[in-house]
Structure 1
């Protein structure tokens, strides 16, 4: 018996392997710039999926659709625009204004 698609994907070590396993066409230039972002977004989308009782063919098709969706996000815009990772989200988060500095009266001379 062959391994299911989820087992194969869990062994993949490069973004290109995900695209190959799922039969999704891609532009290497886009993948070279956004590989981690695409895979992270794919993981976010897959987190909302429930594969309970689904056949491997159904799981493969849903994974293919999710990878296509994640890849399309980065064809249309950049990793900076998408802000998948926390460090990029924090970079544009509104900064809290520091409150007034409190000095205890006893420390003043």
Structure 2
């Protein structure tokens, strides 16, 4: 057992298996005892969870005790949350759709971009 950010104890036993069974971002924060601003989480939940997954992919948890694994996983969630608490999802572009449509990158030759606003113009009006 260890203490969460609010002082309540949380169970560290087999933390990776328990995390695999979760579905809501709030559950990850609760299980790991990480505090968060609901406004930040509502805007960036998918980005935070994706970034956490990217951070966890570089970790090797084999042969580590549960307490060390839990501390590392908690640290990755805190780090991922902080990435989006201080800047927008557009800054980090963790999803392919955002990476592909980066306005700072030149358009790929052979692919034409048609602004949505231009499709809304009435035909015959100049």
Q: Answer yes or no: same fold by TM over 0.5.
A: yes
Aligned-CA RMSD value:
1.3
**Larger radius of gyration between Structure 1 and Structure 2:** 1
Gaps of 5+ in 1: 99-109
Q: CA offset at residue 28 of structure 1?
A: 0.5
Match of 1:69 in 2: 79
- Report whether the alignment pairs 1:16 with 2:29: no
- Count of residue pairs the alignment pairs up: 97
**Structure with bigger RCO (C-alpha 8 Å, 6+ apart):** 1
**How far apart, CA to CA, are the structure 1 residues paired with 2:54 and 2:89?**
15
Task: With the length of structure 1 as denominator, give the TM-score of the two structures.
Answer: 0.84
8 Å contact 2:19–2:28 — kept in the other structure?
yes
In the TM superposition, structure 1's runs of 4+ consecutive aligned residues that sit over 6 Å from their partners are none
Deviations 1:14-41 (A, max 9, x none): 0000000000010000000100100000
Gaps of 5+ in 2: 1-11, 111-126
Match of 2:99 in 1: 89
- Report whether the alignment pairs 1:53 with 2:74: no
**How far apart, CA to CA, are the structure 1 residues paired with 2:109 and 2:96?**
21
Task: With the length of structure 2 as denominator, give the TM-score of the two structures.
Answer: 0.73
Match of 2:47 in 1: 37
